[in-house]
Amino acid sequence: MYKVAIIEDNQPIRDMYSLKLKNSGYEVYTATNGQEGLELLEKIRPELVLLDINMPIMNGDEMLEKLRATDWGALLKVIVLTNLSKDEAPSILRFLNVERYIVKAHYTPAQVMKIIEQVIDNMYKKHK
């Protein structure tokens, strides 16, 4: 069973993706800000992270920069799931190796789930 972490401050969005992922057979963990997210990721070491950008306490881009500075977090698969367009996104994101950048308003939850499954399938194929 793959572990997926959702780092998202918006509770309805966090709950919706948590439920969808659990119903698809994933083990799901959540955090509400970047600081909680870093602590969670260090504990559970998931296969995939869904990461929002605008959050309280520590933004997603700052969290991702700290994550990428660790040995275990350097190669962790991350999908940014935000309402910021790529033009509005912090420029540092371009250098932090994300699998996909998804603007929430442009994708349905079903489309996001397909992208998650594609990313995990690609990880599995590389390990065969």
pLDDT digits (tens, 9 = 90+) for 24-71: 999 999 999 999 999 999 999 999 999 998 889 988 889 998 998 988
Amino acid of residue 121 = D
**pLDDT score at 48:** 94
CATH 3.40.50.2300 for domain 3-127? yes
17-24 mean pLDDT: 95
What is the value of pTM for the model shown? 0.89
Go through 70-109 and write b for each residue having 16 or more CB atoms within 10 A of its CB, e for each that does not: eeebeebbbbbbbebeeeebeeebeeeebbbbbebeeeee
* DSSP tag of 97: -
What CA–CA distance (Å, rounded) separates 9 from 54? Answer: 8
Name which of 79, 128, 126 is nearest 107 in CA terms. Answer: 79
Question: Does 111 score more than 50 pLDDT?
Answer: yes
